Structure 1
Protein backbone atom coordinates (compact mmCIF):
# COMPACT_ATOMS: atom_id res chain seq x y z
CA UNK A 1 0.00 0.00 0.00
CA UNK A 2 1.14 3.51 -0.79
CA UNK A 3 0.87 6.56 1.43
CA UNK A 4 -1.93 7.84 -0.80
CA UNK A 5 -4.02 4.64 -1.07
CA UNK A 6 -6.69 6.01 1.30
CA UNK A 7 -6.94 9.23 -0.73
CA UNK A 8 -7.42 7.26 -3.94
CA UNK A 9 -10.06 5.07 -2.28
CA UNK A 10 -11.92 8.17 -1.08
CA UNK A 11 -11.74 9.67 -4.59
CA UNK A 12 -13.05 6.42 -6.06
CA UNK A 13 -16.01 6.40 -3.68
CA UNK A 14 -16.77 10.08 -4.31
CA UNK A 15 -16.48 9.94 -8.10
CA UNK A 16 -18.79 6.91 -8.25
CA UNK A 17 -21.72 9.08 -7.15
CA UNK A 18 -20.53 12.55 -8.24
CA UNK A 19 -22.61 14.81 -10.45
CA UNK A 20 -21.37 18.08 -11.98
CA UNK A 21 -19.07 20.03 -9.71
CA UNK A 22 -19.00 17.19 -7.19
CA UNK A 23 -16.57 15.45 -9.55
CA UNK A 24 -14.20 18.41 -9.40
CA UNK A 25 -14.58 18.62 -5.63
CA UNK A 26 -13.58 14.96 -5.40
CA UNK A 27 -10.50 15.69 -7.52
CA UNK A 28 -9.66 18.70 -5.35
CA UNK A 29 -9.85 16.51 -2.24
CA UNK A 30 -7.47 14.02 -3.87
CA UNK A 31 -5.03 16.82 -4.72
CA UNK A 32 -5.23 18.17 -1.17
CA UNK A 33 -4.57 14.72 0.31
CA UNK A 34 -1.57 14.02 -1.91
CA UNK A 35 0.33 17.05 -3.24
CA UNK A 36 -1.54 19.94 -1.63
CA UNK A 37 -2.71 23.19 -3.22
CA UNK A 38 -3.84 26.48 -1.69
CA UNK A 39 -5.69 27.35 -4.89
CA UNK A 40 -7.26 24.75 -7.19
CA UNK A 41 -9.07 25.44 -10.46
CA UNK A 42 -10.21 23.54 -13.53
CA UNK A 43 -10.32 25.23 -16.93
CA UNK A 44 -12.26 23.85 -19.90
CA UNK A 45 -11.12 24.72 -23.41
CA UNK A 46 -13.13 24.94 -26.61
CA UNK A 47 -10.43 24.87 -29.27
CA UNK A 48 -12.93 25.36 -32.12
CA UNK A 49 -14.20 28.62 -30.62
CA UNK A 50 -10.76 29.49 -29.15
CA UNK A 51 -12.31 30.09 -25.73
CA UNK A 52 -11.62 28.88 -22.21
CA UNK A 53 -13.82 28.91 -19.15
CA UNK A 54 -13.24 28.17 -15.51
CA UNK A 55 -15.38 25.15 -14.67
CA UNK A 56 -14.40 24.86 -11.00
CA UNK A 57 -12.58 26.91 -8.39
CA UNK A 58 -11.62 26.61 -4.77
CA UNK A 59 -11.81 30.43 -4.54
CA UNK A 60 -15.12 31.50 -6.13
CA UNK A 61 -14.82 35.13 -5.01
CA UNK A 62 -11.33 35.64 -6.46
CA UNK A 63 -11.66 33.24 -9.42
CA UNK A 64 -15.36 32.90 -10.34
CA UNK A 65 -16.60 30.29 -12.77
CA UNK A 66 -18.74 32.62 -14.85
CA UNK A 67 -17.98 33.62 -18.42
CA UNK A 68 -15.40 32.73 -21.02
CA UNK A 69 -12.18 34.29 -22.20
CA UNK A 70 -10.28 34.07 -25.46
CA UNK A 71 -7.29 31.77 -25.56
CA UNK A 72 -4.04 33.58 -24.80
CA UNK A 73 -1.47 32.51 -27.37
CA UNK A 74 2.12 32.71 -26.13
CA UNK A 75 4.75 30.71 -24.25
CA UNK A 76 2.27 29.20 -21.77
CA UNK A 77 -0.05 28.16 -24.61
CA UNK A 78 2.87 26.56 -26.46
CA UNK A 79 3.85 24.49 -23.43
CA UNK A 80 0.43 23.39 -22.20
CA UNK A 81 -1.64 23.29 -25.40
CA UNK A 82 0.80 22.58 -28.21
CA UNK A 83 3.39 20.45 -26.39
CA UNK A 84 0.79 19.02 -24.00
CA UNK A 85 3.34 19.37 -21.23
CA UNK A 86 2.92 20.51 -17.64
CA UNK A 87 3.69 24.15 -16.95
CA UNK A 88 5.56 24.35 -13.65
CA UNK A 89 6.79 27.55 -12.01
CA UNK A 90 8.00 27.81 -8.43
CA UNK A 91 8.40 31.59 -8.08
CA UNK A 92 6.01 34.47 -8.64
CA UNK A 93 8.58 35.96 -11.02
CA UNK A 94 8.33 32.92 -13.27
CA UNK A 95 4.54 32.96 -13.05
CA UNK A 96 4.50 36.67 -13.96
CA UNK A 97 6.30 35.90 -17.22
CA UNK A 98 3.26 34.01 -18.55
CA UNK A 99 0.14 34.80 -16.50
CA UNK A 100 -1.46 38.24 -16.51
CA UNK A 101 -3.14 37.70 -13.12
CA UNK A 102 0.13 37.08 -11.26
CA UNK A 103 -0.56 39.92 -8.80
CA UNK A 104 -3.81 38.30 -7.66
CA UNK A 105 -2.09 34.91 -7.48
CA UNK A 106 0.62 36.42 -5.27
CA UNK A 107 -1.96 38.23 -3.10
CA UNK A 108 -3.59 34.85 -2.40
CA UNK A 109 -0.28 33.59 -1.00
CA UNK A 110 0.59 31.53 -4.06
CA UNK A 111 3.97 31.76 -5.75
CA UNK A 112 4.14 28.36 -7.42
CA UNK A 113 1.94 26.63 -9.96
CA UNK A 114 1.39 23.47 -11.95
CA UNK A 115 -0.94 23.60 -14.95
CA UNK A 116 -1.68 20.03 -15.98
CA UNK A 117 -3.15 19.56 -19.47
CA UNK A 118 -6.02 17.09 -19.69
CA UNK A 119 -6.10 15.15 -22.95
CA UNK A 120 -8.87 12.66 -23.77
CA UNK A 121 -9.27 10.95 -27.13
CA UNK A 122 -6.32 12.98 -28.46
CA UNK A 123 -8.28 16.16 -27.72
CA UNK A 124 -7.03 18.87 -25.39
CA UNK A 125 -10.05 19.55 -23.18
CA UNK A 126 -8.64 21.67 -20.39
CA UNK A 127 -6.25 22.08 -17.51
CA UNK A 128 -6.15 21.29 -13.83
CA UNK A 129 -4.38 24.14 -12.05
CA UNK A 130 -2.74 23.77 -8.67
CA UNK A 131 -1.10 26.71 -6.88
CA UNK A 132 0.71 26.98 -3.57
CA UNK A 133 3.57 28.72 -1.77
CA UNK A 134 6.93 29.41 -3.41
CA UNK A 135 8.91 26.26 -4.19
CA UNK A 136 6.01 23.92 -3.36
CA UNK A 137 5.98 21.97 -6.62
CA UNK A 138 9.20 20.04 -6.25
CA UNK A 139 10.13 17.41 -8.85
CA UNK A 140 8.76 14.77 -6.44
CA UNK A 141 5.39 16.52 -6.18
CA UNK A 142 5.18 17.02 -9.93
CA UNK A 143 5.88 13.31 -10.38
CA UNK A 144 3.13 12.52 -7.88
CA UNK A 145 0.76 14.65 -9.95
CA UNK A 146 1.73 12.60 -13.01
CA UNK A 147 1.39 9.30 -11.16
CA UNK A 148 -1.64 9.93 -8.95
CA UNK A 149 -3.64 12.91 -10.27
CA UNK A 150 -3.57 12.74 -14.08
CA UNK A 151 -5.92 9.77 -14.59
CA UNK A 152 -8.42 10.87 -11.91
CA UNK A 153 -8.41 14.34 -13.53
CA UNK A 154 -9.59 12.81 -16.80
CA UNK A 155 -12.27 10.86 -14.98
CA UNK A 156 -13.42 13.95 -13.05
CA UNK A 157 -13.74 15.98 -16.24
CA UNK A 158 -15.79 13.26 -17.91
CA UNK A 159 -17.98 12.79 -14.84
CA UNK A 160 -18.56 16.54 -14.51
CA UNK A 161 -19.68 16.74 -18.14
CA UNK A 162 -22.26 14.02 -17.48
CA UNK A 163 -23.48 16.24 -14.61
Structure 2
Protein backbone atom coordinates (compact mmCIF):
# COMPACT_ATOMS: atom_id res chain seq x y z
CA UNK A 1 0.00 0.00 0.00
CA UNK A 2 1.41 3.40 -1.00
CA UNK A 3 1.57 6.22 1.49
CA UNK A 4 -1.28 8.02 -0.28
CA UNK A 5 -3.51 4.94 -0.54
CA UNK A 6 -3.02 4.62 3.23
CA UNK A 7 -4.20 8.21 3.62
CA UNK A 8 -7.25 7.40 1.49
CA UNK A 9 -8.01 4.36 3.70
CA UNK A 10 -7.70 6.45 6.87
CA UNK A 11 -9.96 9.18 5.46
CA UNK A 12 -12.51 6.60 4.32
CA UNK A 13 -12.60 4.99 7.77
CA UNK A 14 -12.87 8.33 9.59
CA UNK A 15 -15.38 10.28 7.49
CA UNK A 16 -16.18 8.34 4.31
CA UNK A 17 -15.11 9.14 0.75
CA UNK A 18 -16.29 8.38 -2.80
CA UNK A 19 -13.64 10.33 -4.69
CA UNK A 20 -10.20 11.01 -3.24
CA UNK A 21 -7.38 12.84 -4.96
CA UNK A 22 -4.15 14.38 -3.78
CA UNK A 23 -2.76 17.44 -5.55
CA UNK A 24 0.77 18.84 -5.35
CA UNK A 25 1.10 22.64 -5.36
CA UNK A 26 3.41 24.09 -8.03
CA UNK A 27 3.78 27.71 -6.92
CA UNK A 28 5.83 28.98 -9.87
CA UNK A 29 2.92 28.11 -12.20
CA UNK A 30 0.12 28.59 -9.65
CA UNK A 31 -0.97 25.07 -10.59
CA UNK A 32 -2.08 21.93 -8.83
CA UNK A 33 -0.83 18.56 -10.18
CA UNK A 34 -2.70 15.37 -9.35
CA UNK A 35 -0.35 12.81 -7.78
CA UNK A 36 -2.95 10.32 -6.52
CA UNK A 37 -6.47 9.43 -7.57
CA UNK A 38 -9.08 6.93 -6.45
CA UNK A 39 -10.67 7.32 -9.92
CA UNK A 40 -7.77 7.38 -12.40
CA UNK A 41 -10.02 7.09 -15.46
CA UNK A 42 -11.88 10.32 -14.65
CA UNK A 43 -9.07 12.01 -12.74
CA UNK A 44 -5.72 10.68 -14.03
CA UNK A 45 -2.50 11.11 -12.12
CA UNK A 46 -0.43 13.86 -13.74
CA UNK A 47 -3.43 16.00 -14.64
CA UNK A 48 -3.09 19.68 -13.74
CA UNK A 49 -5.47 22.42 -12.71
CA UNK A 50 -4.51 26.03 -13.35
CA UNK A 51 -7.01 28.44 -14.87
CA UNK A 52 -10.06 26.67 -13.50
CA UNK A 53 -8.99 27.06 -9.87
CA UNK A 54 -11.18 29.63 -8.15
CA UNK A 55 -9.11 32.53 -6.78
CA UNK A 56 -10.89 32.47 -3.41
CA UNK A 57 -10.18 28.75 -3.05
CA UNK A 58 -6.48 29.26 -3.79
CA UNK A 59 -6.23 32.03 -1.23
CA UNK A 60 -8.07 30.05 1.46
CA UNK A 61 -6.62 26.58 0.98
CA UNK A 62 -3.13 27.15 -0.43
CA UNK A 63 -2.08 30.63 0.75
CA UNK A 64 -3.86 30.80 4.13
CA UNK A 65 -3.60 27.02 4.67
CA UNK A 66 -7.23 26.72 5.77
CA UNK A 67 -9.55 23.85 4.81
CA UNK A 68 -12.50 24.38 2.49
CA UNK A 69 -15.90 22.79 3.09
CA UNK A 70 -18.37 22.62 0.23
CA UNK A 71 -21.31 20.91 1.94
CA UNK A 72 -23.64 20.80 -1.09
CA UNK A 73 -23.67 20.73 -4.89
CA UNK A 74 -23.99 24.50 -5.12
CA UNK A 75 -20.80 24.97 -3.09
CA UNK A 76 -19.01 22.40 -5.27
CA UNK A 77 -20.15 24.22 -8.44
CA UNK A 78 -18.91 27.51 -7.02
CA UNK A 79 -15.28 26.39 -6.96
CA UNK A 80 -14.90 23.49 -9.41
CA UNK A 81 -15.16 23.80 -13.19
CA UNK A 82 -15.63 20.00 -13.35
CA UNK A 83 -18.67 20.01 -11.03
CA UNK A 84 -20.71 18.05 -13.60
CA UNK A 85 -18.19 15.19 -13.63
CA UNK A 86 -18.00 15.31 -9.83
CA UNK A 87 -21.80 15.01 -9.67
CA UNK A 88 -21.81 12.09 -12.12
CA UNK A 89 -19.68 10.16 -9.62
CA UNK A 90 -22.34 10.63 -6.94
CA UNK A 91 -20.46 13.42 -5.20
CA UNK A 92 -22.06 16.64 -4.01
CA UNK A 93 -19.90 17.67 -1.07
CA UNK A 94 -16.19 18.28 -0.71
CA UNK A 95 -13.52 18.89 1.85
CA UNK A 96 -10.21 20.31 0.63
CA UNK A 97 -7.44 20.19 3.19
CA UNK A 98 -4.03 21.78 2.68
CA UNK A 99 -1.06 19.52 3.31
CA UNK A 100 1.51 21.64 5.11
CA UNK A 101 5.14 20.91 5.90
CA UNK A 102 6.40 23.46 8.41
CA UNK A 103 5.11 26.67 6.84
CA UNK A 104 5.20 25.40 3.23
CA UNK A 105 2.02 24.26 1.49
CA UNK A 106 2.87 21.04 -0.36
CA UNK A 107 -0.59 20.47 -1.81
CA UNK A 108 -4.08 19.44 -0.85
CA UNK A 109 -6.29 16.47 -0.13
CA UNK A 110 -9.56 16.50 -2.08
CA UNK A 111 -12.18 14.44 -0.28
CA UNK A 112 -15.62 14.08 -1.89
CA UNK A 113 -18.81 12.21 -1.09
CA UNK A 114 -22.58 12.52 -1.49
CA UNK A 115 -24.24 15.88 -0.90
CA UNK A 116 -24.61 16.61 2.81
CA UNK A 117 -22.03 14.02 3.88
CA UNK A 118 -19.63 16.48 5.49
CA UNK A 119 -19.79 19.08 8.24
CA UNK A 120 -17.36 20.88 10.55
CA UNK A 121 -16.70 17.65 12.47
CA UNK A 122 -15.71 15.94 9.21
CA UNK A 123 -13.41 18.84 8.35
CA UNK A 124 -11.71 18.58 11.75
CA UNK A 125 -11.13 14.85 11.23
CA UNK A 126 -9.72 15.46 7.73
CA UNK A 127 -7.37 18.16 9.05
CA UNK A 128 -6.06 15.68 11.63
CA UNK A 129 -5.30 13.16 8.85
CA UNK A 130 -3.64 15.56 6.37
CA UNK A 131 -0.15 15.25 7.94
CA UNK A 132 -0.12 11.59 6.86
CA UNK A 133 0.35 12.84 3.27
CA UNK A 134 3.39 15.02 4.07
CA UNK A 135 6.13 12.43 3.36
CA UNK A 136 4.71 11.41 -0.04
CA UNK A 137 3.97 14.97 -1.13
CA UNK A 138 7.35 16.20 0.08
CA UNK A 139 9.02 13.63 -2.24
CA UNK A 140 6.94 14.80 -5.21
CA UNK A 141 7.42 18.52 -4.58
CA UNK A 142 11.13 18.29 -3.81
CA UNK A 143 11.77 16.13 -6.91
CA UNK A 144 10.70 18.95 -9.25
**TM-score with structure 1 setting the length:** 0.78
8 Å contact kept, 1:90–1:112: yes
Task: Report if the CA contact (8 A) 2:66-2:98 is conserved.
Answer: yes
Q: Per-residue deviation at 1:65?
A: 1.0
Question: Structure 1 residues 55, 123: CA separation in 2 closer, same or farther (over 3 Å shift)?
Answer: same
1:134 corresponds in structure 2 to: 115
Aligned length: 142
Q: Distance in 2 between matches of 1:153 and 1:69?
A: 20
Deviations 1:58-114 (A, max 9, x none): 000110113434263511112112221101011111111111000110110000000
SS in 2 for 1:31: helix
Structure 1 position 40, deviation (Å): 0.3
**Residue number among 2, 7, 12 corresponding to 1:32 in the alignment:** 12
Structure 1 unaligned residues grouped into runs of 5+? 1-13, 15-21
Residue pair 2:3, 2:133 contacting (<8 A) in 1 also: no
Q: Distance in 2 between matches of 1:139 and 1:151?
A: 18
CA distance in 2, matches of 1:156, 1:28: 13
Of 24, 27, 52, 1:47 maps to: 27
Are the equivalent residues in 1 in contact too, given 2:7–2:132 (CA < 8 A)?
yes
Alignment root-mean-square deviation, CA: 2.1
**Is the CA contact 2:96–2:110 (under 8 Å) kept in the aligned structure 1?**
yes
In the TM superposition, what is the alpha-carbon distance from 1:26 to its structure 2 partner? Answer: 1.1
Tell me, in whole angstroms, the C-alpha distance in 2 between the residues paired with 1:61 and 1:49: 25
Contact kept in structure 2, 1:118 and 1:127, CA below 8 Å:
yes
Is structure 2 residue 66 aligned with structure 1 residue 85? Answer: yes
Aligned residue number for residue 36 of structure 2: 56
Structure 1 Cα separation of the partners of residues 123 and 114 of structure 2? 14
Give the deviation of 1:39 after TM superposition. Answer: 0.3
1:48 is paired with a residue whose SS is: helix
**1:162, distance to aligned residue in structure 2 (A):** 8.9
The change in CA–CA distance for 1:73 and 1:108 in structure 2 (over 3 A counts) is closer
